[in-house]
Amino acid sequence: MSEVKKIAVVAGDGIGPEVVEEAIKVLRQTEELFGYKFELEHGLFGGIAIDEKGTPLPQDTLEMCQKADAVLLGAVGGPKWDNNPKELRPETGLLGIRKALGLFSNIRPAVVFDCLKDASTLKPEVLDGTDLIVVRELTGGIYFGEKFRRESANGGGQEAVDTCVYNVKEVERIAHQAFDIAQKRRKRLASVDKANVLETSRLWRETVVRVSEQYPDVELEHVLVDNCAMQLLRRPSSFDVIVTENMFGDILSDEAAMLTGSIGMLSSASLGEGSFGLYEPVHGSAPDIAGQGIANPIATILSVALMFRLSFGFGEAADVIERAVKNVLDAGHRTGDIAVDKSKAIGTTAMGDLIVAAMAR
Ligand code: IPM
Ligand code: MG
């Protein structure tokens, strides 16, 4: 019998609630198989919270998350809120929850499942052996620097300013995270920056080099972000761990996602200093398919496996979930986003049920 783990569930908007429901079935199945006890508490977040509480991140939702051992998040956003002012946008809630919970490190694995190689837009031989992790800095950089508008001095009309700021401590802590992860994998770290142009990137590079002295067994390469975007398409399997700042990581992790054929397959973890973490699929709320029961729940289900491994130390249960997903895919079951023959695609609930049924110790 293990202790009770508290999980805060913020399903959000669009397909969020649909995919989260399947992930919860998987969680419950691990209670059966391993004797775990999970206490789930649900909170409003994102667009639905704007509608019901007038803010994307209500105080009671934040407090619920702060008291939990981990957070499971679905997705937020949708056209309904796209034209709202900044404080009333779901994305503002997402940035706010990351900052308020101190989640400075975003881990996004991109693994190509052999049986899904034909779902990618790249040639299968380019994808062979691709298994990489993007470690993205999540609470600094241009996302969180000072932003404002003013009248331009040279008659150009109104101008907008976004500032990109990083300090040494922020770079050090994400670098340590990335080196630690690389040390447990193939021991290769690519640090991505734009040090030929940006001062923040020069500080980033200096700091990463200094941290690297503590990890002599990890091979470090520096890659400029534009070159990295290119190499990801040219030689994806040569990457092991990629560490980069907030905005570069946002862009490169979407690119890495497409190597796998579907963004519907990718899980992510956002971590701070301790074991607490927030887990969510990389994909968004997909308003175009919401409510139709056709969304792929695998990314959210794999996010539960990440939660088990990174926050709870439940490695065996994480293996059981990942193996079940692989077996179901190997047996040929596909949701629409990864199906080659769309007429044979199955729905969200059917995929969740198959994965639960395939879970065995
Ligand atoms: C992501 C998303 C968010 C980001 C948006 C929705 C604010 O693109 O999680 O990658 O840019 O971080
Ligand atoms: Mg993004």
Q: Which residues line ligand 1 (CB under 6 A)?
A: 91, 94-95, 250
The environment of the single-atom ion ligand 2, i.e. residues with CB closer than 5 A, is 250
**Structure-model confidence comparison of residues 42 and 118, the more confident one:** 42
Instruction: Quote the ligand 1 centre to 32 CA distance (angstroms).
Output: 35
Model pLDDT, residue 2? 60
pLDDT tens-digit readout, 140-176:
999 999 999 999 999 999 999 999 999 999 999 999 9
Instruction: Quote the ligand 1 centre to 341 CA distance (angstroms).
Output: 31
Beta strands in the chain (DSSP E): 4-12, 37-42, 70-75, 105-111, 131-137, 147-151, 158-162, 188-193, 219-224, 241-244, 267-271, 277-281
Active site includes 250? yes
Count of CB atoms situated within 10 Å of the CB of 303 = 27
Q: Which atom of ligand 1 is nearest to the CA of 253?
A: 10
- What is the dihedral angle through the alpha carbons of 40, 289, 45, 6, rounded to the nearest 10 degrees? 20
pLDDT tens-digit readout, 250-279:
999 989 988 887 788 889 999 999 999 999
Q: Which atom of ligand 1 is nearest to the CA of 268?
A: 9
Model pLDDT, residue 294? 97
Confidence of residue 121 (pLDDT cuts 50, 70, 90): confident
Per-residue CA distances from 326 to 313, 342, 358 (Å) = 21, 20, 9
Catalytic residue among 6, 53, 131, 254: 254
Q: Which atom of ligand 1 is nearest to the CA of 95?
A: 7
Model pLDDT, residue 216? 98
Active site includes 226? yes
Active site includes 114? no
pLDDT tens-digit readout, 85-112:
999 999 999 999 999 999 999 999 998 8
Instruction: Quote the ligand 2 centre to 251 CA distance (angstroms).
Output: 6
Q: Which domains does the chain have, with CATH numbers?
A: 1-103+273-361 (3.40.718.10), 121-260 (3.40.718.10)
Mean pLDDT, range 125-138, rounded to an integer: 95
Catalytic residue among 51, 60, 118, 226: 226
Q: Which ligand is nearest to the CA of 270?
A: 1
Identity at 143, one-letter amino acid code? Y
Active site includes 6? no
pLDDT tens-digit readout, 276-313:
999 999 999 999 999 999 999 999 999 999 999 999 99
Catalytic residue among 194, 215, 279, 337: 194
Per-residue CA distances from 99 to 6, 269, 307 (Å) = 21, 14, 19
- Please say if the pLDDT value at position 1 is more than 80: no
Of 76-80, 217-221, 327-331, 336-340, least confident by mean pLDDT is 336-340
Active site includes 217? no
